[in-house]
Amino acid sequence: MTIKITGKNVEVGDAFQGYAGEKIRAVLQKYLAREVDGHIRLEREREVFKTTCSVRLTNGLLLEAHGEGADAYGSIDSAAHRLDMRVRRYKGRVKHHSSAAAAARRKVDVEARDYIVSLNDDEEPPHDEANPLIIAEGQRNISHMTVSEAVLQLDLSEASFMIFKNAAHGGINVVYRRNDGNIGWVDADLPLGAKPNGASAPRHTD
C-alpha cells in the first residue's frame, strides 16, 4: 500500500508522514481486503490545519475524507475518523459495485474543463461582458456510471455535486447534496413526467 503525503503552505516532516501514513493504513486495512493507494494532503490556512485523504478503490470509486485541527496531528486524526465512518458505513455497498465490468466502465472518463469565475466586478479589470472573468482553470473527469453508482460515489466523497454520463443512455446527469440531507438527481435526457426504470413513485407527506 502506497500512501503519498504532500503539504501546501506547510512542511510535512518525517514524524508527521509516519504518523499520518499509519493512521490511514490502519483504517484501510481494517475494512478493505485489497491493497489500495492513497494521497494525504496537509494544508495550512492561517491558524487552521486541513488534511484531505483521497483513496482510489479497486472498483474505480474515489474515497475521500477531510479533517481540520489546531495542529497537523489533530487534522489527520479528524480525517482518519471521518474516513473510518465512511468506509464502515458503505463497505457492503462498495462490494456490491465492485464488479470488473462496473470498474471498467467507470474508467472511461471524459475530460472537461473546470473554471472558477469572479463575481466581484468592482475589484477586477475590465473584461468582455458576454463572458465572466476566469480566475482559475482546472480539469474534471466525467465517468460513465449508473445512477446508483453516482449516488454512492457522491456519498463516498466530500463533493457537493457530481457530473456523470448515465450508463443507461449516455446522457449527462448530475447528482447533488440537498439541504434536507437527501441527494438530488438531474437527468436532462429523461422526458418530463417519465419515471426512470426501477424507480419507485415519490412519497408525499402532508
Residues 182-203 have pLDDT tens digits of 899 999 876 666 666 655 545 5
The pairing of beta strand 48-56 with beta strand 37-45: antiparallel
Do 58 and 43 form a contact (C-beta atoms < 8 A)?
no
Do 158 and 67 form a contact (C-beta atoms < 8 A)?
no
Question: Average pLDDT, whole number, for the chain?
Answer: 79
Domains of the chain in sequence order:
3-96 (3.30.160.100), 100-187 (3.30.505.50)
Q: What radius of gyration do the chain's Cα atoms show? A: 20
pLDDT tens, position by position, 18-76: 999 999 999 888 877 667 888 999 999 988 999 999 988 877 778 899 999 999 999 99
Do 23 and 72 form a contact (C-beta atoms < 8 A)?
no
State pTM to two decimals. Answer: 0.63
